[in-house]
Structure 1
Amino acid sequence: MKFMDKLPTVISCCFCCFLRAGTVMIALVSFLTGLLFAPNVNHTRGFWDMDPVLSYYSAATENALQVVLGAVSVLLCFVSVLLAIGALCNLPALIEIYQWGVLFYGCTVFLLFTILDIFCFFVHTNCAVAGAVLLGLMVVIVLLTMYFIIVVNSLRMSMKYLNNDEFVL
């Protein structure tokens, strides 16, 4: 039995819409989130410009983290398109690719924000507000990633159940 098959399931998305519609909305939200952090899309230097308060090695770390965040954001955009195609065309394999992709994205972003938090709280004590905001974003990312995976998995499991040859009325 696969790991994703053991996750809990829900019968609707956000307590109000069907799983397929909710999954398409999740694909759209994920795509826009990936697009927001993708490089050269938003035409800003970065969402955390702490160069005035960081030392040289901290600024280099920040730039490296922005490059990694841009790369995983492009990955998130790609798997979001796969999710939309999988939800609309009844392809559970594409939905599972999204699940693993968004899990990788969430873990990577959590790790990146943890590194930035360490710099904010322990290396440079004058950017505690930025560290607190990053902590809040980390909580939101974990909760949204878990919810998105559960909703998408529910649609995938229902597709697998309805496509089963042993299904008898």
Structure 2
Amino acid sequence: MKWMDKLPTVISCCFCCFLRAGTVMIAVFSFIIGILFAPNVSHSHGFWDLNPVLSNYSSMTEMTAQMTLGIASIMLCVVSVLLLIGACCNIPILIEIYQWGAIVYSGTVILMFLILSIFCFFVHTNCYLAGGVLCIMILCYVLLTAYFVIVTNSLRLSVQFLSSSNLVI
């Protein structure tokens, strides 16, 4: 039995729509989030303008953080497309690839935000508000990723069950 099989399951997404429709919405939402933070796609500075936090230390640190977030965002876009294909075509392995991709993306973003919040709290003493906002964003990322993984896992388990049983639908 896999580790993902032990997660709790739900019967609907957001208490209002079927698992497949909810999984498609999750795929679209994840793709949009990945596109927003991918480099050179959204022409706003957003997370790419880290000068107020890291300007006193090194441009190499800033470039490393930007490239890490950019690569993770591109990876999120790819696994979101795989989730969309897996949900529409009943392919459980693609759904599982998305689950692991979402966990890796969330872990990467949480690590970057944690590093930036440590800079805000302990290095620059005048940006406690930014550090607090980053901590709240970390909490939101953890909760959102956990919910997305639970919903997609429920669809994956139901697809596996229906494909292995002799039920006629």
Q: 1:29 to 1:53 in 2, by over 3 A?
A: closer
Unmatched runs of 5 consecutive residues or more in structure 1: none
Q: In 2, are the aligned partners of 1:46 and 1:66 still within 8 Å (CA)?
A: no
Unmatched runs of 5 consecutive residues or more in structure 2: none
Q: In 2, are the aligned partners of 1:50 and 1:59 still within 8 Å (CA)?
A: no
Matched, 1:100 2:87: no
Q: Aligned-pair distance for 1:144?
A: 0.2
Q: Note the 1:110-121 alignment, pairs <5 A.
A: 110-121=110-121
- Tell which deviates more after alignment, 68-77 or 121-130: 121-130
Q: In 2, are the aligned partners of 1:54 and 1:124 still within 8 Å (CA)?
A: no
Aligned AA (1:143): L
Secondary structure of the structure 1 residue equivalent to 2:51: coil
Residue matched to 2:9: 9
Q: Aligned-pair distance for 1:86?
A: 0.2
Residue matched to 1:87: 87
- Cα distance in 1 for partners of 2:107, 2:124 equals 24
Matched, 1:28 2:25: no
Q: 1:52 to 1:21 in 2, by over 3 A?
A: closer
Secondary structure of the structure 1 residue equivalent to 2:78: helix
TM-score, with length taken from structure 2: 0.93
- Cα distance in 2 for partners of 1:124, 1:48 equals 19
TM-score, with length taken from structure 1: 0.93
- Cα distance in 2 for partners of 1:145, 1:154 equals 14
- Tell which deviates more after alignment, 136-145 or 43-52: 43-52
Cα deviation per residue 1:92-117 (whole Å; 9 max; x = unaligned)? 01000000000000111111110001
Q: In 2, are the aligned partners of 1:38 and 1:71 still within 8 Å (CA)?
A: yes
Number of residue pairs the alignment of both structures matches = 169
- Cα distance in 1 for partners of 2:77, 2:32 equals 8
Task: Report the identity percentage.
Answer: 65
Q: Aligned-pair distance for 1:54?
A: 4.2
Q: In 2, are the aligned partners of 1:27 and 1:80 still within 8 Å (CA)?
A: yes
- Cα distance in 2 for partners of 1:63, 1:127 equals 21
Q: RMSD across aligned C-alpha pairs, in angstroms? A: 1.9
Q: Aligned-pair distance for 1:51?
A: 2.2
- Cα distance in 1 for partners of 2:156, 2:45 equals 38
- Cα distance in 2 for partners of 1:167, 1:115 equals 51
Residue matched to 2:129: 129
- Tell which deviates more after alignment, 53-62 or 117-126: 53-62
- Cα distance in 2 for partners of 1:105, 1:18 equals 25
Q: In 2, are the aligned partners of 1:13 and 1:151 still within 8 Å (CA)?
A: yes
- Cα distance in 2 for partners of 1:148, 1:70 equals 21
